[in-house]
Chain A
C-alpha cells in the first residue's frame, strides 16, 4: 500500500544517535527521497516578467503533449469556491498561483501535471503566457517614492510593515553627545542554498481529507495554511515531514504544499513537485536591507544614544515580513548598553523574489551595521575596538533597548575568549606583512532574541518491547535536533540514547510544535521532551512502587531498568514494566510554553519583554588582503557563544564553526543580482558559496552553565551574523579601507584601495 493512502500508519521514526554510517553511505533518506506510488508530477510555469497583467494563458499545446494530464492556472483557482488562494503569516497577499497579475520573475503562473517530471518539464515550455508588462521596481528605497510602481492595491506605498522602537529620548540625548558617528550600511539579497531542493507530494484521500508529504521546517504552520486555503478543519489536513538536506529558513511556511494540494485536487491523484536549483533561487530570499545608524558617545566613549533607520526589501510578497522586520529592528541597536534608542523600520514590496527568514533571520543586516559602526567609532575615538566593546557590551542588570533587564549576559567573557584565541599562537601582524599582502584582525558581536511567545509539546513512550520513542514535530535538518532530543530523553530515563528513536514530524501523530527555526528547538522542544521523559519516568516508577512496597521516588532507574534500592531481586526492564502494566505502552507527555505576557510589546514603542533569553555570539577573524587584486582571504576564525546548559559539545562545535562558514559566504561572496527586474545568477556557478578551498582554520569556544536545571540556549545562528562585519573590520585593520556594502568582494576592496591611494597622494 502506498503510504499516502494509509492514514493509520504511525509516524516514521529512526534512531537519531549512531546514524553516521547511513549518513556517509547515503542510505539515510531525506524529504526528496519520499516517493509515493501512483504519483503524477507537476512543474510550474513561471513568470518571465517582473510585473504585469496576465492577459492570456494558452495551454493547448502543452495539453497535447502525450502524458500531460492537466494544466491549471490562477483563473481555475479563482473560480473554485472551495479554495481561498491567498496566504501569508500576517496578511494574505500571496496567491498560490498568480491571479490576474505577476509580481516577480519566477512567480508560479500555471502548473503542468503529467505522468513524469520530464514530460511536465517539456510541456511547461509550451504553455503560452501573455503578460502586459507594468513598470517594475527592485530597489526598496525607490519603492517608497510617491510615483513608484505599486505591487498591491490593498497595501499602498508598497508598505509591508512599519515599526518604531522608542527607548528614552534619543534625539535629545544625541544633541548632548561628545561625539556623533553616522554611516549607512547595505546588504544584498542572498539565497539560502539548501543542498536539498524543496519537494512535496500532495494527495486527497477518499474521505475528503488532505495529506501532504513535504520537506518543511514548520509542519504545523503548513497545516494551518492548507486548512485555511482549502477550507478544511485543521484535523482534516495531515502534514508529514522528513529529514531535510539543509533549510536555513528557506523551508519555513507554505512553499510547495499549496501547489501540490491544488494539483492533486485537480487530477484526483497524488502529485509530486521537486524544484530545480534555479527555482530554489526563485522561491525565497534573504531580505536586502539599508541601515543608517547614528551613534552618540560621551567623552569616555560610552554609548549615550543611537538612532537607526532601516529599509528592508520584502520582495513581492510579505510572508513573515510584517512581523520579522520588527524583530530585526529590535535587534538593531546591538548587544550594547544604550540609554536612548530610536529605531524606525519600514519594509517595502518590490518586484523581486519573496523573502523569508534566513539563518539568523533579520539579524545579519543590522549586525552588519552596528558592528561595522563599532569599529568606526572606536577608530575615531582612538580606542582599541575590542576595548570599546568591552566598555559598552551588555552585562547582567543592564537594560536593553526594549527595556528588558538583562540576565545571563556573557558577552565580555565571549569577547575575551575570541580576543585570546586571535592573539594566541599567531605571528604579530607586522612581521607577516609582505609588499602586496596585508593581514588584519577583526571582531564582531551579535544579540539575537529567540522566538517569544512560543509553545512546544512532546510525548515520550515505551512499548512492551522496551522501545522508547520520542514524538515531537521538530525537524531534523542537519543541526542535530533529533540526536539532541534523543539524548535529553535518554538522560531523564537513565538509558542509552542509542536505544531511543525519534519521530519525524507528522501532524496526524506528533504533537504541536510551533516551528523549527530561530534556534528554538533544543530549548523549547527540548524542555518539552525532558518534561515528557520525566513524566514517563514517574509513570514507570508508579507502576512498580506499590508492588515493591516502596514510594515512587525510591525507585532506582539505571540502564533502562528499574530496581528497588534495598532488594536486588526487585529489578525490571522498562519492557517488563509495560508488560506487567497490561497497557500496550506507557506514555509521558510534556509541554513548554513561554510565560504569559512574554513577547508582548507596546505597539508604538516596542517596549516590553521581547525574549525569554538572548542568543549571544562573538566572532573574530584574521584575514589576508591582496592589495594587487583586492582579494580577501579569511585565514582563521574563532567563534564563541553561550549555550546555557550544554547538551553535546561536538554538535555545538559544528554549529558554531559551521555557522561561521555559512556566514563567510555572505561576507565575501554571495549576492543575488537583478538586471531588468530578473535575477541573473540563479545557479551555483554564478552564485558561489564557500568550498573546502575557501575555508579558514576554525576554532570555537562554548560557554555553558553546569547547573542541571539551567535552560539550554539555541546556538545554531549566533556565529552567522557577526562573520561579515568581523571580516570587514579585519579588512580595515589590514589595509585601512572601510567597505559598507556587502559582500566584501575583491572589486570593492580594490576600488577602495585605489581611492585611498589617490586621497593619500592628495594629502
Chain B
C-alpha cells in the first residue's frame, strides 16, 4: 500500500481574494477551484489540456487548470470566468457581453472558458482581428456546435460595443 500524497499549505488569489489551502501536492487547480472554492464556471472535460473548458487566467494568461498543480499557483492571481468582471462596475466583461449578445451558447458548458480565452486574447492585443481570435480559440472545443454564434461574438468583440440602433449581422449581409 502507499501513503497518501503529502499536503502542503498554499496561498492563491482567486478572483481577487486571497485563499489559503492545505492541498495535496498532486492536486490540480481545477480540483481546488471546484472542490474547495465551489467555483462552477471552471469545468472538467478532457483532463489533458486540449479542450479549454477548464480555462482560467493565471496572472492574466489563459491556462488549463486541469494541468496546473495548485502548489504551482502559490502567490499568483487566478481569475475564473465568474470572477472576470468582479473588479469592474459591470457584471460581465466585454467578451462575455459579446457572447451574450450573439447568443453564443447551447448547453453552455464550454462557453465560460471560451469567453475567458477571448477576453485574454483581446486584452493582450486590443487590435486583434477576428481571424486572430479564431486562432486563439482553436483550443476551446464546443460539442453542441455553437461555433457560428461564437464567431459572431468575436466579430462583435472586435467591432466594439454596439448601440441599440446598430444593424444586425443579418441586415449587413443583405
Contacts and interface: CB of A to CB of B under 8 A. Distances in A.
Nearest to A275: B44
B96 interface: yes
Contacts of A30: 40, 43, 109
Interface in B62-96: 80-82, 84-85, 91-92, 96
Contacts of A9: none
A67 B47 CA distance: 24
> Which DSSP category, helix, strand, loop or mixed, fits chain B's interface?
loop
B48 A65 contact: no
Interface residues on B, range: 35 or more
B21 interface: no
A193 B135 contact: no
Given A64-B1, A695-B147, A695-B151, A26 B47 contact: no
Interface string B89-121: 001100010011001111111111001000000
A408 B105 CA distance: 31
B1 A61 contact: yes
Contact of A654 (B48, B137, B149): B149
Contact of B40 (A26, A660, A683): A26
A478 B38 CA distance: 23
Interface stretch (A98-106, A201-209, A241-249): A241-249
Interface stretch (A118-126, A368-376, A510-518, A603-611): A118-126
A554 B97 CA distance: 45
Interface stretch (A17-25, A86-94, A435-443, A753-761): A17-25
Interface string A24-35: 111111101101
B40 A33 contact: yes
A65 B138 contact: no
A65 B147 contact: no
Interface residues of A, number: 57
B134 A693 contact: yes
A658 B141 CA distance: 13
B108 A24 contact: yes
A66 B4 CA distance: 7
A23 B45 contact: no
A1 interface: no
B126 interface: no
Contacts of A195: 43, 45, 51, 53, 107, 109-110, 141-143
A745 interface: no
Interface of B: 1-2, 4-5, 24, 26-27, 31, 38, 40-48, 50-51, 53, 80-82, 84-85, 91-92, 96, 99-100, 103-112, 115, 134-135, 137-151
Given A25-B112, A245-B109, A693-B134, 16 more contacts: A21-B91, A21-B100, A24-B115, A26-B80, A30-B109, A32-B44, A65-B4, A122-B4, A126-B2, A195-B141, A277-B45, A480-B106, A650-B103, A683-B48, A689-B141, A690-B141
Interface of A: 20-21, 23-30, 32-33, 35, 61, 64-67, 118-119, 122, 126, 193-197, 243-246, 248, 274, 276-277, 477-480, 650, 654, 657-662, 683-685, 689-693, 695, 698
7 contacts: A23-B111, A27-B82, A30-B109, A245-B107, A245-B109, A277-B48, A478-B105
